[in-house]
Chain A
Amino acid sequence: MWSRLLPLSLFVLLGILLAVGLKLSDTKSNIPSPLIGKPVPDFELPMLFQPDTELTQKDLQGQPYLANFWASWCVTCVVEHPILTELAEMNRLKIVGFNFRDEPADAMRWLETHGNPYDLHLTDHDGRTSINFGVYAAPESFLVNPEGEVVYKQIGALTSEVIENDILPMVAAMEGTR
């Protein structure tokens, strides 16, 4: 009896393994960020609209903000744009644009055509800061708490669900603990 059931149970086990693998493959491309729970990487970047002024991570500390890495060459950023605009209209947290691997002129033109939901805009021309943040896709967003620590990372475009279910509750929690 036992030897008859063995092949069947092995087959069921294999089926479960494949099902789990298939489920995981959806999220496989989303590499968990080792940055979560850690302070934001150091940076010193010029502002897009005032290139003579440079800001560091310390200048942004004191309130929660969303660091959004985008570029004018990024197709998904256009998809994300209305969602970001919605978030900006809620006025719950600052949105800081990190325009990376891009030309400032192209970035400004992009913002002119699509509208500018960002409270603040920095230029990461050579992409060095994006490497320090571990950015490998565009767009990517990091939620930073008032203490300057990364609490959440979204790879790819933000969605209304992510904002409703993840970002806004986290911002509310930050405000609650202050």
Chain B
Amino acid sequence: MKPTVMAVLLVLFSAPGVAQLQTDQEPLVFSSAAEEQRFNQLTEELRCLVCQNQNLADSDAPLAHDLRHEIHDMMQAGQSNEEIKQFLMQRYGDFVLYRPPVQGNTLILWFAPAALLLIGAATVYFSVTRRKRLLAGQEPGDGD
């Protein structure tokens, strides 16, 4: 009796594991560790278009799966990272890049943080020097 129960439990609880495996039928094969590292770096920089806050490396969407295969095949064909990014940008636009290029419409994105930091630093500098000047002006008066 007990082995039967065990068997039933095993079948029941192994089902989700099987379903998981089927989404990635053919695991990607790399010829070297360096190539695999290059693939991982590249897919981390690329956005999954379906679940837009995930990158291609992490996403489980069917499109991300297909695009990973596409990128893998392109790497096998000897294409550079730049060529692969171009391929995706021609189809999905700049949005596919997590690191957008520096160009007219991304200037604010790239330089606003530095500009805000400068404004903050300038504000602190001027208020401190003004306070210093005020204090310095007061001291002789206090001495008298």
Contacts and interface: CB of A to CB of B under 8 A. Distances in A.
Interface of A: 28-29, 31-35, 101, 127, 131-134, 136-137
Given A131-B67, A136-B63, A31 B91 contact: no
Contacts of A29: 52
Interface of B: 49-50, 52, 62-63, 66-67, 70, 89-93, 95
Contact of A133 (B49, B62, B91, B93): B91
Contacts of A132: 91
A136 B93 contact: no
A32 B92 contact: no
Given A34-B89, A34-B90, A136-B50, 19 more contacts: A29-B52, A31-B49, A31-B93, A31-B95, A32-B93, A33-B93, A34-B92, A34-B93, A127-B66, A131-B63, A131-B66, A131-B91, A132-B91, A133-B91, A134-B93, A136-B49, A136-B63, A136-B92, A137-B50
A33 B52 CA distance: 16
B50 to A, nearest CB: 6
Contacts, number: 32
- Of the candidates A31, A133, A136, the one having the most CB atoms from chain B within 10 angstroms of its own CB is A136
Contacts of B93: 31-34, 134
Contacts of A28: 52
A57 to B, nearest CB: 15
B91 A35 contact: yes
A134 B92 CA distance: 5
Contacts of A31: 49, 92-93, 95
Nearest to A134: B91
A133 B91 CA distance: 6
B89 to A, nearest CB: 7
A99 to B, nearest CB: 15
14 contacts: A31-B92, A31-B95, A34-B90, A34-B91, A34-B92, A34-B93, A127-B66, A131-B67, A133-B91, A134-B93, A136-B49, A136-B63, A136-B92, A137-B50
Contacts of B90: 34
Nearest to A132: B91
A127 B70 CA distance: 11
Contacts of A32: 93
A110 to B, nearest CB: 18
Contacts of A101: 62
Contacts of A134: 91-93
Contacts of A133: 91
A11 to B, nearest CB: 16
A35 B50 CA distance: 18
A125 to B, nearest CB: 12
A136 B62 CA distance: 10
